[in-house]
Structure formats: structure tokens, C-alpha cells
Amino acid sequence: MKTTCIVTGGAGFIGSNFVHMLCEIRPEWNVVNIDALTYAGNRENLTAVEKNKNYSFVHGDIRKHADVETAFTTAKKFGGRIVVVHFAAESHVDRSIQSGLPFVETNVVGTQVLLDASRQHEVTRFVHVSTDEVYGSLGDKGFFREDTPLAPNSPYSSSKAGSDLLVRAAVHTHGFDACITRCSNNYGPYQFPEKFLPLMLANASEDKPIPVYGDGLYVRDWLYVRDHCEAILCVLEKGAKGDVYNIGGNNELANITLVKRVLKEIGKPESLITYVKDRPGHDRRYAIDAAKIKAELGWSPRFTFDDALPLTIRWYQTQKEWLQRVRSGAYREYYGRQYGSGA
Ligand code: NAD
Ligand code: DAU
């Protein structure tokens, strides 16, 4: 069936990888990308697809009804059924600790504006891209399952949990066709260097200190971004209405182990590691049980960490200009606020 996919936040890290993937493996689909181009959004991430006839960019804010309407008008010009994949969000935990309001405005209010418009325009499938952080924190043992109670701890994860509940309400109250995905930490090309992995690569390339929060023993489950994008497409095409799907890499690493591994890979000394003040309310461990999406939809990750880490490192090494441009004045200001020194 002719399909037009509205992607929100397609100029960000995961969204731009998803748009590239759709253009590659669903070339018969049309794609409308609505993005407000906040500090985290970058049209340069999509240069390779800008000229495609089946791709259209709308510079718009999901909090604004009129902007969302423009995205739907654009989608209707393409024709066919309309599906939505919703990435747009304020996504960085440390920024949410500095100021929570933008997170409520985009992640909660923006999601409701988008849901209302999507129902009105008879969207046939809506995928809400959420996070494992809505489940809170784990101890040494156990995994997050889809029925793990929501217990978010940061303003970021609380706003994402709020948006998950609004999606759930649209399904239960209005019979709207939506699914929710909850994924672990992604890594790969186009990730903004406020996040840990690109931050350590950017700093290490200039022999600058790598800030490790607290004791460095916090654990994350790392998944290559292309695997996440394939899982989202799988849910879009095959997921059951109203269901939640956990997505993870079965690849748990303590932060300090990750830093040492990266430093070894790029030939930089461990003396760059600098322990700094911990993140307030820092979640100790995340680990995903992704058995449901594997059993019911047949998805599992294709990339091992051993393969995808060098790919990611190489991407950042060959994209030095991209890195310089995104680490603009605004980034340096943020870095100073967060770490007390220049980037
Ligand atoms: P990102 O910060 O790199 O990109 C977010 C994008 O949304 C940017 O392009 C930004 O311009 C856009 N945006 C922000 N506010 C907007 C608004 N009001 N209107 C329109 N566009 C707006 O984020 P990311 O890391 O790519 O994450 C994408 C989604 O995936 C988020 O919803 C996040 O919660 C979720 N997620 C991320 C990860 C991860 O490891 N990065 C893991 C699980 C889930
Ligand atoms: O789990 C999914 C989540 O992963 C997504 O929902 C978020 O959008 C995404 O940002 C990410 O959240 P984290 O807080 O886990 O990612 P971050 O890269 O900020 O940090 C990863 C770990 O590294 C975390 O334990 C904090 C630590 N850290 C981070 C930074 C930026 C440091 O030790 N030093 C740092 O400078």
C-alpha cells in the first residue's frame, strides 16, 4: 500500500538515522520530516536525502498545532496511508536536571498535540519512541520487561513516561492505533556530543579530560542505532495495536569499562579519565529484556559491539568538521555550565 511516513525529530541523532534507513530500504515510501531544529537538530545530517523527490522537510515545532498541520498537509500531497514515527523530544538527562520545563513542553505537551492531529487525520499507525529510563533503575540483578512498573527518576524520564501514558490513553480511550517502543542507550553516527560516547570521542581527540560521573560503575545496555531503527520499523509494520516493545542490545557495560575500551581502540591514554561530581539521582543500572520483540516480531540486533564500536569511532574520526560545527557557542556554554570548564 502507498505509504507516507511522518517522522518527528528526524534531524536529530536517531531520527536522522531512521530517515536514511527508510530512504534506503523503503524507497517506495514518502517521508515527511518535521523538526524544530533545536540545538540537537541539524539539517546537515540529512544532506544525502534532501534532494529525494519522496522526502520533504517541514521546519516546525510539535508543540504548535499549525506546524503539525503543515506536516499533515505536506503528507497528504504525497497521498496514501499516513503513519507517524515520533522521535522529537528533549532527550538529555543532564539538561533536564538544569531545567525541566522544556522537557514537559516538548515531550508531554508536544506529544499530545501530535496525537490529537494524528487522530484527526486518521493516521493508521503511530509509533511512539520511548526509553528504558521510564522503568527507573535496577540493582545488580534483573531486567526491565514490558510489565515492569513505571518508576522514572529524572525530569527527562518522567516527561517520557508522561508521554507514554498519553499514547496509552489515546489507544484505550479513542481506539487509536499506536505502539510504544522502549529502548536502551544508542550509539552511532550523528549523535550530539553532549551524550557520553561522542563526548568522550570528541574530548579524547583533542587530548582533553573525559569526565566520568561518580564511581564510574553505572551500567548501561548499548545498542547500535541502526539496530534500533530496524526494530522501530519492525514495530511500525508488524506490532500489535496498543502494545509496548522493549528494545535492547544485551550488551551491558559499566561506564568506566566503556571509556577504557574506547581509549584503547583510539590509542589514547587512560590518564585522560577524570572522575567528576556525580549526576544527581543517577540511575545505577539499566538492562533490557527484549524477548518479546524477538519472539513476536522476529527482531534481534544484527550488529555486535565489537563490530559497531569501530564503525562509530571511524565515523567520528572522519567527520571532524561536523563535530566542530555542532560544538558551537551554545554547546560550549552548556559544557561550561555542566562541567565548569570549556569544551
Ligand atoms: P536528539 O536530541 O538527538 O534529537 C531530538 C530531535 O528532536 C532534534 O532534531 C530536535 O531538533 C527535535 N525536536 C526537539 N524538540 C522539538 C519540538 N518541540 N518540535 C519538533 N522537533 C523537536 O534525540 P535522540 O537521541 O535522537 O532521541 C530521539 C528519541 O528517541 C527521543 O524521543 C528519545 O527519548 C528516544 N530515545 C533515545 C535514546 C538514545 O540513546 N539516544 C534511547 C532510547 C530512546
Ligand atoms: O537509556 C536510554 C537513554 O539513554 C535515552 O532515553 C536518553 O535520551 C539518552 O540520552 C541516554 O541516557 P543516559 O543518561 O544513559 O545517556 P548519557 O550518554 O547522558 O550517559 C550515559 C552514562 O554515562 C550515564 O550513566 C551517565 C554517564 N556520563 C555521562 C556523561 C554525559 C558520565 O559519566 N559522564 C558524562 O560526561
Residue 328 confidence (pLDDT): 85
Q: Which atom of ligand 2 is nearest to the CA of 195?
A: 18
Contacts of 318 (CB under 8 A, 6+ apart): none
Q: Is the CB of 126 under 6 A from ligand 2?
A: no
Residue 56 and residue 168 in one domain: yes
Residue 228 and residue 215 in one domain: no
Residue 338 in domain: no
Per-residue pLDDT of the chain (343 residues; tens, 9 = 90+): 899 999 999 999 999 999 999 999 999 999 999 999 999 999 999 999 999 999 999 999 999 999 999 999 999 999 999 999 999 999 999 999 999 999 999 999 999 999 999 999 999 999 999 999 999 999 999 999 999 999 999 999 999 999 999 999 999 999 999 999 999 999 999 999 999 999 999 999 999 999 999 999 999 999 999 999 999 999 999 999 999 999 999 999 999 999 999 999 999 999 999 999 999 999 999 999 999 999 999 999 999 999 999 999 999 999 999 999 999 888 999 999 999 876 7
Residue 124 and residue 104 in one domain: yes
Residue 300 in domain: no
User: How many structural domains comprise the chain?
Assistant: 2
Separation CA 190–CA 3 (nearest Å): 26
Residue 236 and residue 102 in one domain: yes
Residue 27 and residue 175 in one domain: yes
Residue nearest atom 24 in ligand 2 by C-alpha distance: 218
Residue 295 in domain: no
Residue 242 in domain: yes
Residue 44 confidence (pLDDT): 94
Residue 31 and residue 122 in one domain: yes
99 CA → ligand 2 middle, Å:
17
Residue 190 confidence (pLDDT): 97
Q: Which residue has the cell 531486567?
A: 143
Residue 58 and residue 127 in one domain: yes
| Ligand nearest, relative to CA of residue 182 | 1
Domain with 109 in it: what CATH number? 3.40.50.720
Residue 51 confidence (pLDDT): 94
Residue 45 and residue 130 in one domain: yes
Residue 146 in domain: yes
Ligand 1 site: residues with CB under 6 angstroms?
A: 8-9, 11-15, 35-38, 40-41, 61-63, 87-91, 106, 110, 129, 131, 160, 183, 185-186, 192
Q: pTM of the full predicted structure?
A: 0.98
Residue 235 confidence (pLDDT): 99
Mutate to test the pocket of ligand 2, among 185, 247, 257, 334 (most ligand atoms within 8 A of CB): 185
Separation CA 278–CA 93 (nearest Å): 13
Domain with 318 in it: what CATH number? 3.90.25.10
Domain region containing 211: 196-219+251-285+305-333
Query: In this structure, are strands 252-254 and 219-224 parallel, antiparallel, or unpaired?
Result: antiparallel
Residue 136 confidence (pLDDT): 98
Residue 39 and residue 150 in one domain: yes
Residue 341 confidence (pLDDT): 75
Residue 275 in domain: yes
Residue 28 and residue 71 in one domain: yes
8 CA → ligand 1 middle, Å:
9
Distances in Å between the Cα of 186 and the Cα atoms of 129, 157, 182, 251, 277 are 13, 16, 12, 11, 24
Residue 132 and residue 261 in one domain: no
Contacts of 74 (CB under 8 A, 6+ apart): 32, 56, 58
Residue nearest atom 11 in ligand 2 by C-alpha distance: 185
